[in-house]
Amino acid sequence: MARIVVKLGSSVVAESDGTLRDAVLARVCGALADRHAAGDDVVLVTSGAIARGMRVMGLPARPTAIEDLQAASAVGQGKLYRVYDELLRERGVTSAQVLLTFFDMSARLHYLNARQTLGRLLRWRVLPVINENDTTTTDEISFGDNDFLAAQVAVLLGADELVLCTDIEGLYTANPRNDPSAELLARVEDFAILDSLAIGHETSALGSGGMRSKVVAAEMATAAGIPTTICSGIRAGALEAVLAGEEAGTRFAAHPAKYSSFKLWLKYAKPTRGTVVVDDGAVRALRGGAASLLPVGVVETRGSFDAGDAVEIVSRTGEVVAKGISTFSAAELRSVAGMKTSEVRNRLGGAADEAVHRDYLVLG
């Protein structure tokens, strides 16, 4: 028995005008139902709620204002899930709608609750249909067309396979839409080979991801030991081939797990809002692997950020040491930089002892 997470991008779910690709969705649900019937645990992560809402409301293009995106998602979310529910039920599979946000992945209690709920659904032989809760999230903490969300779900569940379905065959040496000489990469063993490739951020008319976010999601999942494939969700037979263990699209080889799912998200996906320069003693302590960053080790704070934002931690020479979630705002950290813990408490009252706690820090 295998545990498989399949993600559908907006361009797979709907046409450019927001019309659902009914035949594609029926075929995908058929493929997932077949794996479910074979005894596999199957999870579907889907984009497309905004696209569905656009179609229902007659919007001519994907909105840009966050409140419009949230409203379109609210209109489309339930209607999109109903399509999946009906298609799966016709094939004898019970499904459940699950909406997640970044906070569900970053807060320890929420993370554990999400894992327990999804685990229970799978034990009940229910197929979870997961989407980001766009109606409450913001642009700063969104998952990027659900690519990062799919990778996080795969890590959270200890999946055996992650499949990212898009509207092209996989990862190419260049954008195949613009360069006829572009070649499909069938397998990626080392992400370093991708440095020389033009992997774009171009998105569809409906989506917010692009190939770059899929590659980052693949890097996140494979770093947790989960092989990942990017393949076409539109071409008949592509997803079916991947689920059958055959070659299709681009397959990224798994690597030994190194980080927790939260730290993978922090390392690869959460945007950095500022920089914290630390002294040599703090560099040694952090690289030792078990230390938090204390205000006494902070030399300088650059940029404007709030408590809870990600910051890059660098040495005096500018070498990147780590990335972490700041306990303080930039202004607060500047006011206590270089101070001992007792001095920080006197200055800021009930402030935390750590500038960045080790549980919310990942080495660079």
**Total Cβ atoms within 10 A of residue 106:** 19
45, with CB counted inside 10 A (0-12, 13-18, 19+), is buried
Taking a C-beta distance cutoff of 8 angstroms, is the pair 169, 232 a contact? yes
pLDDT value, residue 145 = 59
Nearest 5°: the CA angle 199, 204, 210 is 30
Dihedral angle, C-alpha 166, 169, 171, 175, nearest 10 °: -90
* pLDDT tens-place string over residues 107-146: 666 777 888 999 999 999 999 999 887 555 554 435 555 8
pLDDT value, residue 88 = 98
Q: pTM of the entire structure?
A: 0.77
318, with CB counted inside 10 A (0-12, 13-18, 19+), is exposed
**Domain ranges, ordered by start, for the chain:** 3-264, 271-363
> CA gyration radius for the chain?
22
Better pLDDT: 165 or 217: 165
The DSSP bridge pattern shows strands 320-325 and 161-166 to be unpaired
What span, in angstroms and rounded, lies between the C-alpha atoms of 288 and 153? Answer: 30
From first CA to last CA, the distance across the chain in angstroms is 36
Q: Which of 167-176, 189-198, 272-281 holds the top average pLDDT?
A: 272-281
Q: Which residue has the tokens 């529910």?
A: 85
pLDDT value, residue 143 = 52
pLDDT value, residue 63 = 79
Q: How confident is the model at residue 103 (pLDDT cuts 50, 70, 90)?
A: low
Overall average pLDDT of the 174-200 stretch: 77
C-alpha to C-alpha distances, 304 to 87, 119, 330, nearest whole angstrom: 48, 39, 6
Q: Is the pLDDT of residue 207 over 60?
A: no
Lowest mean pLDDT: which of 155-164, 186-195, 254-263? 254-263
Q: Is the pLDDT of residue 170 over 70?
A: yes
pLDDT value, residue 206 = 38
Overall average pLDDT of the 90-95 stretch: 98
Kindly report the backbone phi and psi dihedral angles of residue 247, in degrees, each rounded to the nearest multiple of 5, phi listed first: -80, 130
Q: Is the pLDDT of residue 297 over 60?
A: yes
Better pLDDT: 134 or 150: 150
State both tokens at 157.
């569940």
pLDDT value, residue 144 = 55
State both tokens at 297.
């080790």
H or E segment to which residue 37 belongs: helix 22-37
Q: How confident is the model at residue 175 (pLDDT cuts 50, 70, 90)?
A: confident
Lowest mean pLDDT: which of 103-107, 140-144, 261-265, 296-300? 140-144
Overall average pLDDT of the 251-277 stretch: 81
Q: How confident is the model at residue 196 (pLDDT cuts 50, 70, 90)?
A: low
Q: Which of the following CATH numbers is that of domain 3-264: 3.90.550.10, 3.40.1160.10, 3.50.50.60, 3.40.605.10?
A: 3.40.1160.10
Kindly report the backbone phi and psi dihedral angles of residue 147, in degrees, each rounded to the nearest multiple of 5, phi listed first: -65, -50
What span, in angstroms and rounded, lies between the C-alpha atoms of 137 and 70? Answer: 8
pLDDT value, residue 197 = 67
**Topology classification of domain 271-363:** 2.30.130
pLDDT value, residue 20 = 92
C-alpha to C-alpha distances, 27 to 76, 244, 363, nearest whole angstrom: 21, 15, 43
* pLDDT tens-place string over residues 330-345: 999 999 999 998 898 8
Please, what is the average pLDDT of the chain? 87
Taking a C-beta distance cutoff of 8 angstroms, is the pair 314, 275 a contact? yes
